Structure 1
Amino acid sequence: MVDILVIGATGFCGRHAARYVLEHPERSKYTVGLAARSRSKLTSIDLPIDNSVQIFELDIQDEQALEDAVKKSKVVLNCIGPFWHYGTPVVQACARNGIHYVRLSGIKTHAIIVPSCGVDSIPADASVYLASKALGHVPLGTSTTSAGLYGGAPGGTLASFVAILEDVPTNHLSLSARDWALSPVPGAPSPRPRLVYSLGSMRGGLAVFGPINRAFVQRTAGLLELARRRGVNSGPVYGPAFTYTEFTPTSNVFSAFFYSLALATVFAGLTFIAPVQSNFIISAQFRWLFKRLVTQPGSGPADHTLENGRLEYVNVTMSDEPVPRYAKTIIKGSGDPGTLLTAEFVGESALALLLDELPPLAKEGGVLTPITAFGDNIIRRLEKSGRFEITTRIVDGPGGGIEESRKAR
């Protein structure tokens, strides 16, 4: 048996996630297994592998081999993609056997499945949660985040994006894009997308991860409300007026406008020409070129980009009260968001499941969000890691001065 099994440890993000759990200060408290298609490739890469690390030569398509590997672990950290192709078999194996699962994204076995605990969607989920705590767990109104991500993009992440456009049935995509689609309880209609967003003095445009993060924050809101109705003491309740919006910060209104326009144009173009059912020559040529030049799995940003990257999330959430109050949460991370910081996000998520006391909702198992699965544990762990700085303050408005300062916890 191993405590944490890292699947896809030879991939670009997988190597960083594996290194993180292998070199963690709490390493003496748990055992690690690494799984990859090729044992020789796994042992040849630069990882601190000793005799205590169990190696699994694993083909995800081999159902029995996957089942056997999952049964030998307590927490599975899945880094293999595209997740549309390779995520489902791993989730199914974990659910059948009661094994906890975290990914770079009702079950009778009480397995905890957290599909999105990397840069999407821990910062967004944590920002609203911390605001709710600072405001005293009163019902919330609007919540707006400026999501600054500065770094590169691993080839496997881009390949997963293309796989979604090519292979996921359009009816699945349309269902997942619906407002509150992942929440067990419906909520207030979300604001419509805009070309220019504002938060105090900040301006910005559309956010690539915005729809994904909104869906997970909404699921957190729905799960908390469902728990409240069942009499489970789960802490915050976001309330019926709660909405979440996220944007990418830019230098001014004009850059926000053109950034949004460019992003919307590219996304519309990819959506139109990428589906596999299209027979247009341009579709096949574009997919071939994009895959060869941009989406090579196993590739990623250079070392200097990894270390010089950063993350800065600024969230302002208002209370739904006759006289609204505002909480401002800032999450800063040092390092490339899509690789180094994501490795810490998923690594600490796995350790939170393995070593920490679970929040009330997590003890019941199921498909959860980062906050409902880890609660304060993930905040504490991220701050302790040394790469993150997290603060929450009560302010006098969306961009106003500070009235009262308080630490995130």
Structure 2
Amino acid sequence: MDTTRNTALEAWMNEHGHSSNSLARALNSALEHLTGKPGRFDGRTVRDWRSGRVSWPNTATRRALEDVTGLSPIALGFVPRGRTPSTTAPPQEDPMKRRTIVAGGIAAAAAAAAAAAPAHAASRRIGMSDVGRLQRRFADVIASDHRHGGQVTTEQRATALADEALNLQNSGTATQRVRSNLYACAASFYSSAMWAAIDGRRYTEAARHMREAQALAELSGDQAIKFRIWSHAGTLYRHMGRPADALAANDVARNLHITRRDPLFASLGIARQMAIQGVARDRSGLRRAFDQAQDAMDRADPDAYRPVWLMAFYDQAELHSLALSAHLSLGYYPAAEYHAHRCLVALRPHMRRSRSIATSRLAHAQLAQGDAEAAAATAMSVPPSAATQHARVSRMLQEFGAALRATAPGSSTAHAWTEHTAAWRTPS
């Protein structure tokens, strides 16, 4: 058979330092992102493309090639069936231009940063060490959020770091792997900004961060960060009182193939659906949902590698916290109190925000069962910093005070609570 050597593909491989085997490995990873199943490419496959023996790979392979290289198959020298090779490829839409359209204003801002960059920037090589530096700063954002929660400063810091990751994209040359990781970093930072805004009840800002995070996650192809963003979207809609949208968003997260690969992701998806059921007033299968989430958590390999954001918060305590939320919403107060105590016992020391939220919910569950004195004592144990500075906690304690005055008007317990909250507003 008469074949024409694919010099365009060879030139791209030489420019980016790929051997046949290393390109095959990169394509296997890209195909797994696309289909959920590892690819079966090897060095011989790539050599067949270079020699021209295979001139037009199948659809999934072409997509993987485009994801890895950033170029269309024709720009890489492949020839569609029925056409003859040409030394001059027809004009093709720039894939980075197409992705910029998908990413909206984010990629446009990154392009503007590139235009403003000094001329020598293109000579810089961006590598995984740069990605690692950003990932360490992401871990700092996560830690700060668990200490304080919902703060505008956390949101602002996260968006600034997202901009830094995007600017880095345009400050030099990088492999497709590095670029994908940079997009994942930027998406991670925007998802943290989104969560800080949700936690602070700034829902308009949260929705804006969500859209930016979703676009960047698509560019990265990272399943874990896609899960985080869509799962957060479900939480956003739950807090906004939109249970149908919350279920739809959470279903997107639960249907990602990472939930089939890692039971811990599956467990979190089920647990958050359980909390949404509470807002939706769906009483069916609540206990079954908890058992399914528990079973998936128990099956998860404790030694598997997982992203820092997941390992920093999702554990037995968080599972009980989500069950607490669901039962409290549905008026199952004894069950809510049970899960609150289990949550508080299991919480790790750094989870200050989570402890304040669980304690506030416990007070509500106790008051609803008629134990005003114990409920007030529980509510008073919430640190003043959380009670006054964390929007969700403040709202829950305001609602608790209103319920306490309605339940036991004029009582010594209601009076004590009024004096306690007055002390929060008194300058020290």
Common fold, TM-score beyond 0.5?
A: no
Decide which structure has greater helix share.
Answer: 2
TM tier, smaller? under 0.3
* Larger Rg, first or second structure (1 or 2): 2
Say which structure, 1 or 2, has more relative contact order (CA 8 Å, 6+ apart). 1
More strand as a share of residues: 1
